[in-house]
Structure 1
Amino acid sequence: MVSERDNDRLLAHETEVKDAFDRIEPFLKRLSARQHEADFVDKAQDMARAELGFELPRQVLDNAWIQQLDIRHLFAWCVFETYRAYADDFFRHQPLAPDPQEAERFQTWLQECGFHAVDVSPCSDGRLAHVIRYVLRLPHGLVRRKSFAGAMFDVEASLRRWVETELSRYRERVPNTADSLTRYLKLAVYHYSSSDPDHQGCAAHGSSTDRAAEGARERLQDFQQAIENSFCCGASIDLLLVGLDTDTDAIRVHPPDSGGDLDPARFIDGASLFDETVGLDAQAARERVAERVAAVASDSEPGMRRFVAGLLENNFAQIAYVRAHHGGHYGDVGHNERFMGVGMGFEEVQLRNLTYFAYLQTVEEGAPDLDVGVKIFSGLNVERGLPVPVVLRFDYHGQVPGARERAEARTRRVAEALRNRFPRLAEQGLLHTLLAVRDCGNNGTLEVIGSSLERTGTGEKH
């Protein structure tokens, strides 16, 4: 049931990407100790090329003999260059993309479960950034993900996405025809910490597991009510609530009852079920999972039970992954994100604790998520004198006239608004932004359009 080949592939990706980011601080510490040596600039560039794979801004190095080396500037520069290389490699080589047969099998299985689309809203906490490809083992290109603090997703935005999906079924017969008896599945993922529930749970809900689960449940119900009030009966969508233990990546799934209602107290625990099936062959384990799901969710629709069982089976692979490669329990049970991702996009980020997300169109709209993110990075970076690195990005569809220009204008507006929201951090060099846009309709790579590092007067651009 657990694919070692897939786990090896995911481990290689996680190791390569995180190692690239984690080399930055040790490198800068060594560099700082050598800033007054003869030929420092040339030595620094040699070190950077050899250890990081790119050069550093020369004027910052040239100024080191006049004043202290600007480590804040170099830290942000290195994070942004590392991110850009990682993102470009991801879009060019698609290291996690499913092959055509795998994608076809997923779509077939999904429709056999009675669904034509899966829309997932996890918490924006970086410990859930890998929820699609790793935790749930779903194909990231075929499942929609938008993250919000506390999994409190934007109901109106989700409603628009539902409309777009249904219109595609009417107009383009994608992913199936409008008269097919399938439904749209909205899934919210809250989180908790099994080792330190009172401190390492969801910050947006005061580390309360009960509040996190209830908040996600209420938001799902609001979404269903919005569709019922605006269009038709709720039979066109289904809801599912999932909890994630961020210490172990084990999930608990809350299946709906016969009326589609969710109960946070009713769930199947993935960790317990994994232990129960250890030693069984794949078929016996699959049958045991189906039995446990049926026992808890006997009143759920058969297709929903099949989908829930599939999620639990998929999660077994991630539980095995964490036990094999992280001792069964992550060492960084708390926040350890490397940068903030702000705007719209970031489908390439499928790794735990790599990015804190703040999906937004305007700073005012996304203020709660931004504030939580800056608070997290104040503890991770600012208290140590390092800046908050923010990748500000808006993806666009190149086939739409004027889309790129609007994406660029929005990116620059949000960058200025972000600076105005956190003026003290920005003025002290403790908040830096990389501005980028991307043509997602053409699977393009990033186009960097600016950076706050240009304000320092180096004259060098990313």
Structure 2
Amino acid sequence: MLTRRRSHRDSLIWATAPTVHSRGRGRAPAPHTPAVQTFHRPEPVQGQESHPGHVHRITPPAHNGQPPLHPLTDKAANHRLQAYETAVKSSFDRILPLLRELTGLRREKGFIAKAQALAEQTLGIRLPEHLLEDAWIKGLDMSRLHAACLFETYCRMADGFFAHDPLKGHDTRAFNAFLQSCGFHLMDVTPCADGRLAHAISYVLRLPFGAVRRRSSAGALFDVEDTVSKWVEVEHARYRAGTPNTADAPTRYLKTVIYHFSSRHPSHEGCAAHGSDDTAAAGAGLERLLAFRQAVENGFCCGASVALLLMGLDTDTDALRIHVPDAQGHMDLQLSLDTGDIYHQTLSMTPEAARRYILEQVRRHAPAAPDEGMVKLIAQLVEHNLSQLDYVRRRHGGAYPDQGHAERFMGVGVGFEEIQLRNLTFFACLRTVEEGAADLDVGCRILGGLNHPHGRPIPVVIRFDYHGQVPGARERAITRCRQVDRAMTERFAPQVRDGLLHRLLVVRDCDTRAGLERVASSLDPTGQGGHR
């Protein structure tokens, strides 16, 4: 139906996730490529009256107390993703219980050895010994210990991610082929930096993270100049190296924005950068998309070489609101396709009938005749999202219990492809504090609100990835880490002085599968962080 929108431990972690192959698609679930077909309404069910606009549905019975699965749900993928999420988040959730146990041990003989043994057993990490010494006299600095546990757990999680590829996100061949068959050669996605969208690629859209460029930004307000530079880089590679395809291939660069809203608490749990006003969030996202296309057109006279897509994400349920563009790229903010509606309309259909229905609904929700390649891509995204809706239904009864923010730390800089889980990290993608000041302020306000009332600090990971094949790139990444750290300590001087903001500085060679390289930390014995 047409929807008019209202204004309103090391590898031990990975050992817990069983290796599951999904429905004969090999190691990684590759996108199904539906043929573009003429829609046929499913045959009436016997005993039901048929009339125009009526969608025939039979609610399947629940099985073992669980809600019925959608016919297009990838059960194997859901099982694998749940195992990964449970393993990672449980490791962070064990930090506070560990700290509580440490407080009861600090006066016991052999405290340091016992504390380290407990940390090894509980989190698979070792604590900085200088934070444990003299604890029987001075007591434990729980704020610093909390940050230390979180940083160590993060590094362990990240190193395991790069070593084992638990989400199989580096297997990009099938998706790249599918994307090009739709008429696009790169999908560049900007979700809001809000941690409730950090899982948008691997979970909500079910895409291999290695095939999608993700640059999060507060309010999904991406940097137009940076995106134009990336477009130039991609087009240059097509001309010179034929990567990902040759320049004469009739494909376009696809820029996508994902804003967000809350269906349960629309005026309080929406996007903070837009005052929880989803109309403003959608409008700002569309405005930024149009500015990107105009910039390419003004600078290179080829605006037709870019395509645009705007989507909204309900952070309570993970349902998508998709503004389907027509063949000219026009999108109507008041017209959207809701995957939650699609889920219920197709729940009792056969997979084939459901796919036909999805294709027809995508076409009907465009302001005018749409591009069939875009229809094909959006239909696949809708189908993928149906699996995620079942994921949330099975795990959380249809809506997340943490409807607001629950991020564990803030990620600052460039990188963080390993962060693919909801409400784990607030992103501030930046190269300098000055250019990312707004994102930093929002992130510190959110993390401060979560942690400061309980005496816990804001943990910040400052990270810059580099290309190891470029001479001097590692040294420049380290320098940038130190520069951002110095600027952050100046901008948030009161929090730093009171021990309410701690930083870990890391770099990584993104041309390899290597893990993180630690540069410095505010928890180091000198307490100087990245300063020299």
Q: TM-score, normalised by structure 2?
A: 0.84
Name the CA distance, whole Å, in 1 between partners of 2:207 and 2:106.
Answer: 47
Do the aligned residues in 2 keep the contact of 1:59 with 1:458 (CA within 8 Å)?
Answer: no
3-state SS of paired residue (1:335): coil
Instruction: Specify the alignment match of 2:407 in structure 1.
Output: 337
Match of 2:210 among 119, 141, 162: 141
2:129 maps to 1:58 = yes
Counterpart residue type for residue 150 of structure 2: V
Instruction: Specify the alignment match of 1:385 in structure 2.
Output: 455
Deviations 1:102-143 (CA, angstroms, capped at 9, x unpaired): x32212211111111100000000000000010001110000
How many positions carry a matched residue from both structures?
Answer: 457
Instruction: Specify the alignment match of 2:99 in structure 1.
Output: 28
3-state SS of paired residue (1:454): coil
Match of 1:83 among 154, 162, 176: 154
Match of 1:355 among 409, 416, 425: 425
Do the aligned residues in 2 keep the contact of 1:185 with 1:240 (CA within 8 Å)?
Answer: yes
2:237 maps to 1:237 = no
3-state SS of paired residue (2:335): coil
Name the CA distance, whole Å, in 2 between partners of 1:202 and 1:310.
Answer: 26
2:147 maps to 1:73 = no
- CA apart distance, 1:257: 2.5
- CA apart distance, 1:75: 0.3
- CA apart distance, 1:245: 0.2
Instruction: Specify the alignment match of 1:399 in structure 2.
Output: 469
Name the CA distance, whole Å, in 1 between partners of 2:449 and 2:170.
Answer: 40
Instruction: Specify the alignment match of 1:39 in structure 2.
Output: 110
Counterpart residue type for residue 11 of structure 1: Q
What does 1:410-449 align with in structure 2 at a 5 Å threshold? Answer: 410-449=480-519
Do the aligned residues in 1 keep the contact of 2:130 with 2:525 (CA within 8 Å)?
Answer: no
- More off after superposition, 285-294 vs 255-264: 255-264
Do the aligned residues in 1 keep the contact of 2:170 with 2:209 (CA within 8 Å)?
Answer: no
Q: Aligned in 2, Cα 1:264/1:59: closer, same or farther, shift over 3 Å?
A: same
What does 1:184-333 align with in structure 2 at a 5 Å threshold? Answer: 184-297=253-366, 298-333=368-403
2:193 maps to 1:128 = no
Kindly indicate which of the two structures has a greater share of residues assigned to helix: 1
Name the CA distance, whole Å, in 2 between partners of 1:55 and 1:108.
Answer: 44
Name the CA distance, whole Å, in 2 between partners of 1:457 and 1:209.
Answer: 42
3-state SS of paired residue (1:399): coil
Name the CA distance, whole Å, in 2 between partners of 1:328 and 1:37.
Answer: 47
Name the CA distance, whole Å, in 1 between partners of 2:328 and 2:346.
Answer: 31
Instruction: Specify the alignment match of 1:453 in structure 2.
Output: 523
2:444 maps to 1:374 = yes
Deviations 1:160-207 (CA, angstroms, capped at 9, x unpaired): 110111011001101110011011100000000000011000000000
Runs of 5+ unmatched residues, structure 1: none
Name the CA distance, whole Å, in 1 between partners of 2:169 and 2:521.
Answer: 34
Name the CA distance, whole Å, in 2 between partners of 1:379 and 1:261.
Answer: 40
Deviations 1:248-282 (CA, angstroms, capped at 9, x unpaired): 00101001123312221111000010111102121
Pair member with larger Rg: 2
Counterpart residue type for residue 77 of structure 1: A
Do the aligned residues in 1 keep the contact of 2:170 with 2:210 (CA within 8 Å)?
Answer: no
Name the CA distance, whole Å, in 2 between partners of 1:192 and 1:358.
Answer: 20
Do the aligned residues in 2 keep the contact of 1:150 with 1:202 (CA within 8 Å)?
Answer: yes
- More off after superposition, 274-283 vs 77-86: 274-283
Do the aligned residues in 1 keep the contact of 2:261 with 2:269 (CA within 8 Å)?
Answer: yes
Deviations 1:305-346 (CA, angstroms, capped at 9, x unpaired): 111111111100100111111211100000000110000000
> What's the C-alpha RMSD, in Å, of the aligned pairs?
1.4
Do the aligned residues in 1 keep the contact of 2:315 with 2:403 (CA within 8 Å)?
Answer: yes
Counterpart residue type for residue 142 of structure 1: A
Runs of 5+ unmatched residues, structure 2: 1-71
3-state SS of paired residue (1:188): strand
Do the aligned residues in 1 keep the contact of 2:316 with 2:400 (CA within 8 Å)?
Answer: yes
Name the CA distance, whole Å, in 2 between partners of 1:42 and 1:401.
Answer: 43
Instruction: Specify the alignment match of 1:112 in structure 2.
Output: 181
Q: Aligned in 2, Cα 1:86/1:210: closer, same or farther, shift over 3 Å?
A: same
Do the aligned residues in 2 keep the contact of 1:121 with 1:146 (CA within 8 Å)?
Answer: yes
- More off after superposition, 108-117 vs 238-247: 108-117
- CA apart distance, 1:99: 7.1
Name the CA distance, whole Å, in 2 between partners of 1:444 and 1:387.
Answer: 29
Do the aligned residues in 2 keep the contact of 1:57 with 1:458 (CA within 8 Å)?
Answer: no
Name the CA distance, whole Å, in 1 between partners of 2:327 and 2:371.
Answer: 7
2:13 maps to 1:13 = no
- CA apart distance, 1:65: 1.5
Q: Aligned in 2, Cα 1:175/1:187: closer, same or farther, shift over 3 Å?
A: same
- CA apart distance, 1:35: 2.0
- CA apart distance, 1:29: 1.5
Do the aligned residues in 2 keep the contact of 1:60 with 1:458 (CA within 8 Å)?
Answer: no
